[in-house]
Amino acid sequence: MLARQMAGGDRTLASLAAIRRLVELPEFTRAETIAFYSAIDDEVPVEEAAACVRARGGRAAFPLRTPAGLEMALADCEHSLRPSSGGIREPVPTATRVPIQEVDVFVVPGLLFDRSCRRLGRGGGHYDRLLARVRAGASAIGICYAERVIDELPEDLWDVAMSLVVTDRFVVRRAARGQES
């Protein structure tokens, strides 16, 4: 059963399970600044995870589209996000920017992920360009419903793989270079 076909209650339970797995990850619990996204369509909503970060004194940043590409900006609460011209909720243009080098963890949506933690996005390349600039040691965590993890996706030179992928049923960690997964 695909996530699109899940009944409302099933989808809510799956989302909660995925968020519970996310917030229990060591990468997540030790991070001070975490970049989230505003869910669209059938993406896992991450507002509860952002609230968890804020409650423990961390910073929750969300993407803000600018002419130069995606930038990160603080969102003090879910209500500080507004629909953009493209319909995606993002921080207001005057929100405090967070330099990309200060982000410890990026929580990233995707249409599909594979067991090597590769991601298929919506085709704009926004996240690949953003993630290509992160500091060494920052983690990129993909999040989706378990049905959205397949065995293998094609890979282009500009694609940036995730450090790990979290679902409602399991976590996939990317094998270190030189190791078989």
DSSP the chain: --GGGS-HHHHHHHHHHHHHHHHHSHHHHT-SEEE-----TTSPP-HHHHHHHHHTT-EEEEEEEETTEEEEEE-SSGGGEEE-TTS-EEE-TTSPEE-GGG-SEEEE--SEEETT--EE-SSS-HHHHHHTTPPTT-EEEEE--GGGEES-----TT----SEEE-SS-EEEPPPTT---
Q: Is the pLDDT assigned to residue 15 strictly greater than 70?
A: yes
pTM score of the predicted model: 0.90
Q: Residue 63: which CATH number?
A: 3.40.50.10420
What pLDDT is attached to residue 13? 95
Q: Is the pLDDT assigned to residue 64 strictly greater than 70?
A: yes
Tens-digit pLDDT profile for residues 123-140: 778 888 999 999 999 999
Q: Which residues sit opposite 108 in a β-bridge?
A: 142
What pLDDT is attached to residue 125? 82
User: Looking at the domain assignment, is residue 181 inside a domain?
Assistant: no
Q: Is the pLDDT assigned to residue 24 strictly greater than 70?
A: yes
Give the domain range for residue 34. Answer: 3-173
- Work out the pLDDT band at 8, boundaries 50, 70, 90: low
More confident residue, 84 or 18: 18
Q: In the predicted model, what is the mean pLDDT of residues 82-110?
A: 91
Report yes or no: 111 and 148 within 8 Å, Cβ to Cβ.
Answer: yes
Whole-angstrom Cα Rg for the chain: 15
Q: Is the pLDDT assigned to residue 77 strictly greater than 80?
A: no
What pLDDT is attached to residue 70? 86
User: Looking at the domain assignment, is residue 124 inside a domain?
Assistant: yes
Measured between its terminal Cα atoms, the distance across the chain in Å is: 26
User: Looking at the domain assignment, is residue 180 inside a domain?
Assistant: no
Domains held by the chain: number: 1
What pLDDT is attached to residue 178? 47
